[in-house]
Every structure is written in structure tokens, then in C-alpha cells.
Chains A and B, each alone.
Chain A
Amino acid sequence: MAALPPYASTGQKVWHYTYLVICAAIFFFLIAPILIIIPLSFNAENFFTFTPEMLALDPEGYSTKHYRDFFTNPDWQVPLWNSLKIAPVATFLSVALGTLAAIGLSQPHVPFRRAIMAILISPMIVPLIISAAGMYFFYSRIGLQGTYWGVVLAHAALGIPFVIITVTATLVGFDRSLTRAAANLGAGPVRTFFKVQMPLILPGVVSGGLFAFITSFDEVVVVLFVGSAGQKTLPWQMFTGLREQISPTILAAATVLISISVVLLVTLEVLRRRSERLRGMSPG
């Protein structure tokens, strides 16, 4: 399907181009809703659609007032800071515990490996509303509901599966004779870990960390239940905004978040290539 052979019949040609058009339409469906947010966020009016001035590309129709609102209004700034206070700590917890466990799980003899793996991956599979309900009930029992640490703990638990999956994937290609060689040359287990193993699995750790970060940074269901007004995060503010009084500032917030996603996506792609190069695989 990649390229049409020169001997293709008319029917084949027609089908080939129809197929390409269909694919283009699906790609459009995937990407357009996200891209359309960006010009709309520069709307000078408080509308959610293109004004005639905008369609005429009149500079009058565009303004950055929604961005000004986003960056000055405490309704948005406080949640943004809350998100930035919660996500890194949750990410650190996920990465530290998850990397350790992934290394443990990659050893050749682990008792109950399948069962442990299933438990560790489960936060990703269990519907968020169920996790949120359970955490709400249980954390209120032990006094963590409505506290900063409650939210951090919950988000760390949700980020763990991503760290486990990415780090385990890098460890699959890990040559164990390297650690043996290090031990043979006199390095202790800790030194071996930091000097030999860590640099090699670092891309996996970092991409797992990015996944954990975005999980926490994007998460709204659990924080709605486990958090209280003091832990209101950016997605929470967007959610209330969408449900109650929808203000165009949401589009500015969304654009900011899209830029963050693009940065993360590029970082991950770079890391993936580096990891494959380090492990001696051909760059994909």
C-alpha cells in the first residue's frame, strides 16, 4: 500500500487514493479538535467559536486576554501551583519505588512473579472511579482524606504501573554480564547499580517518570474525591469550569497544557532513540 506499482489498474488506483483520503480524514479527526483549540484561545471575544473578525484574519479579532487571565487570576494560578506541588512528589515516589521493584522483578528467580506483577499493574486497569471511591472511603478512615499527602499517595499509586512497565521494558534488553563484570572488578552492589545499571536503564526510568508525572498532572477523578478545596488542581479547576460556568480561559489553559504535552512527547521520543542506541538496537 506504500506506493502504487506502475502496473496498477484503474480500480486499484481509485481505491488507493480513496483509502488515502479516508486515512487523512481519520487523522484529521484525531488531530483537529486539539489544534482548533489553539486559535480559539486567542479569541478577543468571550465566544467559543470563530468570530467573523477572526475568520477575516483581522488582528482586532485576536487577543491574549484569556492568557492574561490564566496567568494572573488566582482562580487559575492557585490550582496550577497545587498541581505543580503534587505531581513532582508523587512522581518521585512512583519512580523511586517502581524502579527498585522493576529491578527486583527482572531477576531470574522471583517468587509469585505473575501475581506481584498483576497487583502492581492493577492501578492502571481498575477504573479510576472505583479507585477514587475506595480511596475516599479508606483514606477518610485513616485521616488522609482531604490532605496533601493523601492526594500525593493516591497519585503515586496511579503512576506506579507506568514506571514498572517502562523500566521493565528497558531491563529486558539489559545484559546481566555487565553487572557481573562490575562485581568481578570489585564494585559493590550499590556502586554497580549507580555506575553500570542506572545509566543504562535511565531512559526507561525517565520515560516512566514522565508518564507518572503526566498521570498525576492530568488526573482529576481521584483528586476530586481524595482532595479537598485546598488541593484543587488545574484539571479539577478545568472540570468545574466545564461543568458549571464555562469561561474561555479554559481554552488558554488547554493550550498551555497542549504545549506541555508536545514537550513531553518530544522528550520521550529522544529518550526512546537513545535507549535503543545504548542497548545496541537499530534506531527505530
Chain B
Amino acid sequence: MTDSATTPPRQPMAALPGGEVTEGGPMLAADGRPLKHSLNRALRREKLRAFLLVSPLLIFILVAFVAPIADMLFRSVENQIVSETLPRTVLALREDENLPEAAPGEPVYEALYTDLFIAAEYKTHTRLGSRLNYESTGLSSLFRGTGRDVGRFDTDIYTDQFIEAEPALEDPVAWSNWMADDDIRAALPQTADVWDAWVKLTVEANEDDPLEEDVEDFVYAALYRDLASGAAPAGFPDVDVSGFETVSIKALFEESDEDWVDPEVWQVIETYSPAYTDGYFLNSVDMMNGPDGGAEWRPEDEQIYLKLFWRTMWMSLAITVSCIVLGYPIAYLLSTLPLRSANVLMILVLLPFWTSLLVRTSAWKVLLQQQGVINDTLVWIGLVSDTNRLTLINNATGTMIAMTHILLPFMILPLYSVMKTIPPSYMRAAKSMGANDWTAFWRVFFPLSIPGIGAGSILAFILSIGYYITPEIVGGTSGVFISNRIAYHISSSLNWGLAAALGSILLALVLTLYWLYDRIVGIDNVKLGG
């Protein structure tokens, strides 16, 4: 209002009911507060009340739905398994300078020995093996095999020599006393660390009392390393280790499986040692982390996901287009018929919409079979010879037919609701000015119906790219979508990280379309059942 500057400020002539006017001061409400404050307070209360009504559901959705999605996104980059299963090895690898040209030095193998021994007791080494196997084939059997061997490594020579030199070293109670002494722990860092790990292992995995068990070989091996590096803590038995017979742990690993001295194996372990990785995402687009640390393409025969994404996209597009082609005439017919007959015909659209997805899919499975009703009819008519029945199922054709049928109502309903709002007088006006039927339709009606096509297409496309059930049942191998691969990785190959990464990409795709849909149609305008 620009006129406030030119006209004198108006006196409030009438206050709200119950309010009173005070000369010169602010307008007051019935309770004597300034009206502005009262109104603000009322507004705040109203907002709070609305928010309180919404909040139970919001919390519910956040816990039951949004948190799971967030968890999936997290899993697509999470990679704690390497650093959790092989913590010492990962640390030692960081210090190592031999990679990537040669296998790492002895300290890495010493750390790996401890880690793998513990992992084998917890039986987590096979899980780690399968995880690393996704990145480089063969690592699963490597971990499995050496996990069996590692308990029998010839490291007991340290145990024997220590006990021979100082029999007290055999006593777990004496050990636990030494390891309670902070000075000794500081002087023997490796031994202390390994001792703690052994105690934890004995209690947790074997449910034994560490004070009654024989101390494991790897503790003595760690003690040897500490003492050999010159530690001589007060209060700990003074053992001269200079004359000890030694054994190379690297050689023991090589003996168990010579892949352990393959720098490429170590490269994979090092690449996947950080707690977070882009490896799953790279895998989802057929790439991998190369030896030089950069992303590179996977070998030709392992490239499947880009193809699968591509197929999901173009098949969804084809399904959407066939839905437009089939849905448009129907929606047009419904919108031009009188309401009563349109409502009757609408039932033919709504019944499939309401019928269980499984029912419709089973119907197609039954109909499309080689011995099914469609082939039987075609043979009976004589269009197809009996020996030469059409393959309509377990391929892309099957998926296309069944999904078009399933998604058609989702196209017809938005189209119909848009077409209903186009006044028929527009077409009549066009014709009265000389347009023929086609021009009137193409130049007047069709452009007005485009919002409906847009809404229906996005809806059909969004639903289609995420479909799982129908492609799984009628799609065979050539008609499956990316969703089927996600399901496969969750339930069969157990590569959850890859499933999560594929899911995240699909989710990003769908959310972009959802955003578009919201911009074009508005989520508030989603209508159900016409």
C-alpha cells in the first residue's frame, strides 16, 4: 500500500469484538494485552497444535521408513570390515614402503598373523574373504584356506624357547599380573596389545577363563619382537632373546598360499582398508579401484550393471510409451462420454487397478505360456503353426506386455482427470472456424492434454523402473530389471554393500523424477481412483 504516505494515518474506528481502542497507544485485546501480541500468540499456538498433530506420524515415518533408507545409503559406502577384522595389519600396511612393487615386509605379516589367528577363532575371516572376493576373485578361498592353517603355524618355537628360558612364562596368572603393570605394558607395547586381544578372545569366543588356559603362540611371538627390539622392563623376567632361533612369518604365509606374497593381493587389502569406500559405487557402474588408486573399467566380461541400468531405463520408457498409446484413446473416450456411461466404463479401468498385482502377474504367466491360452488361440485361428508357438514369456516381451497392462490404469487416471477439465466448447469453436476434426484435435485438444500425459508418464515411469515382482516372474533373464539384481545381491550373493549402492543410484534416479513430478503436478494433486 503506497498511499499510507500520502493520507494521514487512519484512526482505528472499530476494534475487534471485545477489544477497545486506546487513544494513541496500540490496539488492545480483551485481556488488556496488545492485540498484535495476542494474535501472534494465537498463531504460534495454532502452529504448535498443527505440529503436534503431525509429529506422531512424522516420528513413525522417520523411524520405520526414513531411517532404513538412510541405513541403506550408509551401507553403500561403509567398509569397516577390513579395518575391524585386520586392525593391526591395516596399521602395519600404512608404515610399509614395499607396496605396490613388491610384497610388504615382515612386520605386516607378523601383524596379519595375529589378526588372522584372532579372526579365525571368531570365524570372521571368511566374511572378510567374501567381502574382498567382490573386488578380486580368489581372495575368499585364500582367507578360508589360511584361516585353517594359521593355528598350526610353526611359531611355537618362540613359546618353547621362552618357557625353556623362564618357566614362569608358561603361567597365565603370572602373565596377567605382569600385564596389569603399566610400566611393563609401556615397555612391551605389542605384547600388551596382543595379550588384551587374547584375553578378550578367550572370554568371548571360547568362553574360557584366561587364567586357566595356555597362552597362545602369537603372544610369545609378539613378546619376542618386543624383547628383540631391546625392551627390558623392570619386574618382567629377564630373558636374553639374542640367541633364539627365529622363523619368518612371511615364509609361513607363503608356504600356506603363495598368493600371500602377491603384491596385487596386498594392493586390494590396502585399497579397501579405509572405513569408507567408493568401491561399491564404482562396482555399480562397472568400474573398480585400479592398482594405481584411480578408478578404471572392469574387464569386459564383468561389465553388467551399466547394461542393466540402460535396459531398465529403455524398457521403462517403452512401457511408458505403450501406456500413452493405449491410455490416450481410452481417456479421451471416457472424457467425451456422458458422465453416467463414463462411470460404468471407468469400472473396467478401476478393476485392474484394484486387483492384486500377483493376480495380474499370474494371469499373464498363465496366458503367455507356450501351452497357454494366447498361443492356443493363435494356433486355433491358424496364425501360428503348432510347432512354432511364440515365446512370449521369460523374455523382454513378457515383461513389456505384463507391465504395460499393470501400469495402464496409472496412465489413464491422470489423463482422464486432465481431459475432463478441457471444455468441449473449445473443440466446437475450432470446428466452427473451419478446422477439420484432426486439426481441432491436434491444435486445440492435444496441447491442452499434455499436462496429463506428463503426469501419467512420470508416474508410470517411476513405478516401472523400480519394479521387481513382475520382471522376476515373467522376465526370464533378458527381461529383468536392476531391482532384480538388487534383490539377488541381498538374498543370494549377500553382497549387501553392492545392493545398497545399486539401490542408492536407483533411489537418486527416482527422487529426481519425483521432484520433477512435484514441480509439474504437485504431490498434493495426486488422485487415487479417479
Contacts and interface: CB of A to CB of B under 8 A. Distances in A.
Contacts, number: 278
A130 B507 contact: yes
A201 interface: no
Nearest to A139: B68
With most chain B CB atoms within 10 A of its CB, the pick from A137, A141, A156, A272 is A137
A264 B362 contact: no
Contacts of B510: 125-127, 130
Contact of B503 (A12, A133, A239, A243): A133
A225 B358 CA distance: 17
A105 B65 contact: no
Contacts of B56: 97, 100-101
Given A100-B53, A103-B53, 19 more contacts: A1-B332, A2-B338, A23-B333, A33-B364, A36-B363, A50-B376, A104-B51, A111-B51, A122-B514, A123-B65, A126-B69, A133-B486, A135-B68, A162-B528, A165-B528, A225-B487, A239-B358, A258-B355, A261-B356
A30 B333 CA distance: 15
Contacts of A110: 47, 50-51, 54
Contact of B71 (A109, A137, A251): A137
Interface string A115-157: 0111111110111111111111111010000000000011011
A137 B69 CA distance: 9
Interface string B464-507: 01111100110000000001001100110000100110010011
A205 interface: no
A82 to B, nearest CB: 15
Interface string A85-113: 00000000100011011011101111100
Contact of B357 (A23, A111, A218): A218
Given A138-B68, A254-B356, A257-B359, A246 B490 contact: no
Interface residues on B, range: 35 or more
A242 B467 CA distance: 17
For the complex of A and B, 9 pairs with smallest distance between CB atoms: A127-B466, A104-B53, A134-B68, A138-B68, A101-B57, A107-B50, A104-B54, A134-B72, A129-B483
A1 B357 CA distance: 33
A96 B207 CA distance: 48
Nearest to A150: B64
Contacts of B409: 30
A40 interface: yes
Interface string A19-47: 11011001101110110110010000001
12 contacts: A31-B348, A34-B352, A37-B366, A110-B50, A116-B54, A120-B58, A122-B61, A127-B506, A128-B466, A130-B72, A137-B75, A243-B473
A64 B154 CA distance: 73
Contacts of A134: 65, 68-72, 503
Given A122-B65, A127-B466, A2 B58 contact: no
Interface residues of A, number: 95
Interface in A201-227: 207, 211, 214, 217-218, 220-221, 225
Given A50-B376, A136-B490, A261-B354, A129 B528 contact: no
B466 A130 contact: yes
A157 B60 contact: yes
Contact of A261 (B57, B355, B408, B468): B355
A192 to B, nearest CB: 13
B239 interface: no
Interface in B319-366: 326, 329-330, 332-333, 336-339, 343, 345, 347-352, 354-366
Contacts of A56: none
Interface of B: 43, 46-47, 49-54, 56-58, 60-62, 64-72, 75, 326, 329-330, 332-333, 336-339, 343, 345, 347-352, 354-367, 369, 371-373, 376, 405, 408-409, 437, 462, 465-469, 472-473, 483, 486-487, 490-491, 496, 499-500, 503, 506-507, 510-511, 514, 518, 523-524, 526-529
Contact of A27 (B345, B469, B473, B511): B345
A133 B72 contact: yes
Contacts of A254: 356, 358-359, 362-363
Which label, helix, strand, loop or mixed, suits the secondary structure of the A interface?
helix
A130 B69 contact: yes
Nearest to A254: B359
A120 B338 contact: no
A58 to B, nearest CB: 18
A277 B53 CA distance: 28
B466 A133 contact: no
Contacts of A217: 356
A133 B348 CA distance: 34
Contacts of B50: 104-105, 107, 109-110
A265 interface: yes
B491 A48 contact: no
Contacts of A72: none
Contacts of A40: 366, 373
B329 A23 contact: yes
A73 interface: no
Given A104-B53, A119-B58, A119-B61, A33 B360 contact: yes
A100 B330 contact: no
- The winner among A123, A160, A220, A254 for most chain B CB atoms within 10 A is A254
A20 B369 CA distance: 30
B528 A133 contact: no
Given A128-B466, A134-B68, A157-B64, A34 B57 contact: no
Contacts of B51: 104, 110-111
A156 B66 CA distance: 13
B336 A165 contact: no
B329 A130 contact: no
A138 to B, nearest CB: 4
A109 B358 contact: no
Contacts of B526: 121, 165
Contacts of B507: 126-127, 130
Contacts of A228: none
Contacts of B333: 1, 19-20, 23
A133 B75 CA distance: 11
